[in-house]
Structure 1
Amino acid sequence: MKETTQLPVWLVVVLTVVPALIAGASAVLAAWLAGSRKAAKQLDQWRRREETMRILRWAADKATATSDDERLLAVSVLDALDHSKPAMLQPEDQGILDGVLDAVLSDATAVVEEYPDESGNYDVEVADDG
């Protein structure tokens, strides 16, 4: 005669329910972590945009200064924002920068020139203080 072992009912229930609970909790935790990562990414994007706009406001303010050095610095910063890689500006903000650059360069008393260098970057300088 062959001996068989029987498991108590409570052990069968535990061995059935516990893995299902662990799998369910893991799925909930994974969904929550995915949401947290998305929120963190959105917050980081918002912070970068806020800092970029702060730089843009500063440069626009300095571009109207009376000092050639301040104007040159401001136009150089605006140019760097425009040509930054990876892009500091979000695509929807490019129009703002273009408008600021157009306003600064059209109303400037100084003639500002850009000279491309061998790496594709531009050197910006005040050519004539009209």
Structure 2
Amino acid sequence: MRLAKKLVSKIKELRAANNFMTQQDLADAIGVSRQTVSYLEKGDYNPSLKIAHDIAKYFGKSIDDIFEYESVMKIKREEFNLTQEQLATLIGVTVEQIKKIENEEFKEEDKPPEFIEKIAKQLKCKLEDLIEFDKK
């Protein structure tokens, strides 16, 4: 079992920093549809290496500067505008436990199922949204 992750990008921020260029402007520059840029910004689409490279090249950045994986738990927590401290208080655990889970610095015994279930309930999502079970 491991924490579910989602690809997030900084494309929207880079577009804003680049004279508020539109999704269509970027799409035209790298040869994809505007919808593809939209999906990338929302994390609903994992780009091919070529698209990731083209975006990075366009903005003069490395791929690692633009794309990163974040824990779904962190993304959900931020959607509810909760700090790690607030979430910890709401579910009755320490801030350190929340930090360890979000940063994947935990051992299996640090995250018993009932602990993850409390987090899922507080963030109004399914347990399966937060963790990925190893396929055997």
- What TM-score, normalized by structure 2, do the two folds share? 0.21
Q: RCO greater where, 1 or 2, for CA within 8 Å and sep 6 or more?
A: 2
Bigger radius of gyration: 1
Of Structure 1 and Structure 2, the greater helix share is in: 1
- What TM-score, normalized by structure 1, do the two folds share? 0.21
